[in-house]
Structure 1
Amino acid sequence: MSFKDIIGQQEAKEHLAGMVQQNRLSHALLFLGKEGNGALPLAIAFAQYVVCERVNGKKETAAAGPSLFGEEPVTSNQPPPLADACGICASCQKAQQLVHPDIHFSYPVIPRKAGDKPVSTDYITEWREFITETPYGNAYDWLQFIGAENKQGNITAYECNEIIRKLNLKSFESGFKILILWMPEYLGNEGNKLLKLIEEPPADTLFILVAENESQILATILSRTQLVKIPALTTEAITEALITKAQCTPEQARPVAFIAAGNYREALQLIRHAEEDWQSHLRDWLNAILKNGPIAQVKWIDEISKLGREKQKQFLLYFNHLLEQAIRLQAMGTDKVYLPDNERDFALRLNKIAGFEQQEAIIEELDRAAYYIERNANAKMLFHALTIKLYHIIAHKQVARLM
């Protein structure tokens, strides 16, 4: 995986390449970015860049020796540094297939059976398949991919011991040893086993931690890393990726990219569930909340709870999108905001039933609900509580957070 394969993030790519070219690469980096912005594939592309034989000069050194055909070696000025891995040297070929012996991966795993002491390499075949198929997937996608269902993934003490063992070995080929540790949020106190290794690593060792939530990382580890912030993707970058990678038409891609709000994973999910009539679901819910009463509410909650976690999240994301457009219509005027006619009409209706502060409060509740859905909350209980909160926010003009 090269930088050219990563959606957007041009500034981050240039920054990372510059760190290598200017010899100011820290031994421990923390790639911090929200879900779907490409922090993990960017870390993998960076690892390939570091081991690339043309980037680190091995290819040029070999080429500078006597020719097989007797010509004198060329001594012209050194070529400019590469802004991306070459993609053709032996190291790049192995890195692209996720089999380079000096690039190691660590990620949350589950026991295959009771009593197991799992480590990441137990799932390396699944990991390679997952990254190839779903490079922008999140931790939930990964755990479902390995059949976790409702089990909690972990990066265990046994995994920490395995990391220490691997990184204390000599490098096999590149001269570097690289560890990409995805989701350090899954490291408990056992992560303190890694502190000495991170603080005083063997020569030419590079740690790349890839995280979404800074507050959930052990402070002792956080303080020993150099932060590399990975921003949300632009709407233009997601639109282009949907057209070129997901074979969407421009008419399909633009509204989806806008709703996804910088998250390419969400954009793909929206495309996958494009046949869902979220607007009808939302209309039925609001009618149940404001007009039809408890029986209609219970019926609607039963229906939404059967859709599955991913569709429930997409529904909440769509509602959030409409609320954001309603706020923009209030602030900028109807002639300054482009929306499909059906969405514009719905957003204008939302402005009639809820003011700016109420819409802001609803957005906060929807974000919180999506967070709990991602973490296996009971759907019926969650949507029942959310229905009551929305009723109080809209009907009673109550904007303070309900406990």
Structure 2
Amino acid sequence: MELVNVLHMNAGDRECSYANTSALQKYVILKSAKVLEDTIEDYGTNGFSECFKLADLGCSSGPNTFLFVAKTLANVHKACAKKNLKAPDEFQVFLNDLPNNDFNTVFKMTPSFYSKLENDKALGRTLKCFVCGVPGSFYTRLFPRKSLNLVHSSYGLHWLSQVPENLLDNNKGNIYITKASPPGVYEAYFNQYKQDLTTFLRMRSEEIIPDGRVVLTILGRRASDPASKDCCYLYELLAMSLHDLVAEGSLHEEDISSFNLPIYTPSPDELKTIVESESSFCVDILETFEVKWDMRDEDEIIKSGDSSGKFMAKTARAVMEPLLASHFGNSFMDQIFERFDKHVNEHLSRGEKGSYFNILVSLRRK
């Protein structure tokens, strides 16, 4: 399975498209906003260049795509006003994702984004902003040397460049790290993550100017145990949903045993150790925060009418469907996520809590 061809969010504007079911991701971006603001203010201590160049890696599509961009432009102007600095005359924005990302939706949104900038009185002047799409894996070089001021990625770096090797015989019946997985499974996942994150940092170190910044929000885990519930249980519920179809005769056990998620959720210590080992960046800020699986407030729940299970099934489907469909086939998607909805509701009805553990880090290029 070539991940570069199948790893993308659901395109378009149907009910389970990423554009319509990315409220969680928006919530996380907003929770990370203060660190982004502090990073830009610190970066601007000695002033900004005439053209400020920023890249969002793993931009996906839909309403969240330009949220980081808008906040960055506002933060730069806020920092300049606070320190009586000259603001950049121009901004160059690079929106990156894998080639099968729904860039058509992204490009259709640019006129609306430009219009909002023109009408934003808070910026105080006419602002020139140039947006372009950059297809490709962020585990490769994407930009010329020393060309970027700021790099951002939210919920992108838990995705691996490939499924770790040698898992098929060791992780039977599972789709990720579980308590039942032998130690070799964790080692394979961690080694792949270490290799990928080191590559990511090395690529960015060539593309970012000295003292340039990187702000990352990563799905991680609180515990040192790689099979802890705070990072793995949702994937176990997904595996249960697949096993339901085996019990019903729709799938075969070997279908599951031959599938492993290309995901790794690091601990803060693992992340920091890899950054320090690669040595191109300093860790300026490292924070963690948790977000409930169902982060909607009461009004949002009433308005949508969706249970927590259904809400999470839609969210997971928007992200996971292309990957699952490439292995199990399109015809099983409704069945898989109907059962996932049921398992989530059963889990929460027992009084179990569910949350995403997030690592938020701001790095400075040495």
TM-score by length of 2: 0.32
Structure with higher Rg: it is 1
TM-score normalized by structure 1? 0.30
